Copies of this chain bind each other. A is one copy, B any other.
Amino acid sequence: MFYRFHFLLAVIACSGVATVGLAQDNSGGDHVIVLTDTETNTRTESLRITSKDFADVLPQNSPAWSVEKTTLHGGKQEGCELVTIDNGVLEIVVVPTRGMSVLRVTKKANSNEPDSTAARFGWDSPVKEVIHPQYINLESRGGLGWLEGFNEWMVRCGLEYAGHPGKDVFTNNVGDKVEMDLTLHGKIGNIPASKVTVTVDREAPHRIRLQGIVNERMFYGPKLELITEISVVPGEPSLRITDTLVNHGADEQEFQLIYHTNFGTPLLEKNARTVVAAEKVEPMNENAAKSIDQYASYQAPTKGFIEEVYLVYPIADASGRTQTMLVNAAGDQAASVAWNTSQLPYLTIWKNTAAEADGYVTGIEPGTGFPFNRNIERHFGRVPKLAPGQSRRFELEYGFHSGAEAVNKMEAEIRTLQTASVVLEEKSPTLPSP
């Protein structure tokens, strides 16, 4: 843990451009700047912090970086807040208004990395704007309203439920078990963060941390708090997610959490492929079963393609760490994600190589379970619970790799985990009768 001190920050709530008053502190704590805090009625319209503001703290040769808060206006974007982190190598756009989702990651060519090339990580959704949650009705279209806002590189699914829509039981306000309609991928991606801060570590490597607290709370329902953190080291082509989920209720609380990370062109292309270390890969339904042998490779954009979803049971090393990567056809550009299977035991690969106009995209999705409806996940024992007051931590490290050498090195690392052959199931799992 680290100490913190709070900078004096002149914020004009609601309107105008805030100016940062960087009241320097010599107490040795980290530097925290508050962008939003409902407890103190703080919201910044726009703000820019750069490494220059920390010139007396950072080493002379420190890479230049910036964190910029902006607010979108007009149409369905009205009031959507963005935070753009530029660590010199990656530009990461986070949307506090949409549950701290990551809209896109852009990598710059940089001299420190051999064979570095610029690339966009993200995809081209038919949803072109950053949709404010006020315009999303999760219940619409039979529980598919979430799809009206879906265009992020990484969106969390959860917290009370994270999978497919449909009926599931819950306990209502008079203690009866009744049915409710779950909505696709849950609420967390459309809840604005209650507190958003930027922290700069005082100690090397001076990691920049964007923290956002998102509450999924109600009376007679879940009292879950997700303390999200997206962090980068200046000059490094990787980003880390460190989330803490807390149950503030007096009872045990089921939860689900899936890190729905999505890639389109240029990384996704014909003959792009995933590399996983897995005990078993299962098709989610019969449509996916037909192509189980090709689960790891991708087609070109294909009009009328119906999504194929594969359920991966990852292999980890002795510490629980596993890795997965998506690599382009030439094998010289890749994105990887490493995580601990004690935190996120399952991986979903969503192949949606549809026409570009409809969204040519694949999802690499570590999770506490698979995206079946919660009643199915519960049947298979994949819905974890938090005791009252209990919290759980989830860490994911995303890497963005350029050049065949770097890509091959990463692939070799993953292959090392694959000590026995992967089992490819020919049939989708037998689901409980509804």
A residues engaging B (CB < 8 A)? 13-16, 36-38, 41-43, 45, 70-79, 125-129, 133-135, 137-142, 144, 147-148, 150-151, 170, 172-175, 178-181, 183-184, 191-195, 215, 217-221, 223, 248-251, 285, 287, 303-304, 306-307, 354-359, 388
Contact = CB atoms under 8 A, between A and B. Distances in A.
A43 B71 CA distance: 11
Contacts of A174: 285, 287, 306-307
A179 B178 CA distance: 20
Nearest to A72: B41
Given A41-B73, A73-B42, A79-B78, A251 B358 contact: yes
B45 A223 contact: no
A140 B74 CA distance: 26
Nearest to A42: B74
Contacts of A144: 172-173, 220-221
16 contacts: A13-B71, A36-B74, A38-B77, A43-B73, A43-B78, A74-B195, A78-B79, A126-B223, A133-B134, A133-B135, A139-B139, A142-B172, A142-B181, A147-B220, A173-B307, A219-B358
7 tightest Cβ-Cβ pairs between the two chains A and B: A250-B355, A43-B73, A175-B306, A75-B194, A43-B74, A15-B15, A250-B357
A372 to B, nearest CB: 11
* This protein's copies in its complex: 3
A183 to B, nearest CB: 8
A144 B220 CA distance: 9
Given A38-B77, A142-B181, A219-B358, 13 more contacts: A13-B71, A13-B73, A38-B74, A41-B77, A74-B195, A76-B192, A141-B170, A141-B221, A144-B172, A144-B221, A148-B218, A175-B306, A251-B355
Contacts of A126: 217-219, 223, 248-249
Nearest to A357: B250
A345 to B, nearest CB: 24
Contacts of A184: 173
B304 A251 contact: yes
Contacts of A221: 141, 144, 147-148
A129 B303 contact: no
A250 B358 contact: yes
A99 to B, nearest CB: 11
B45 A249 contact: no
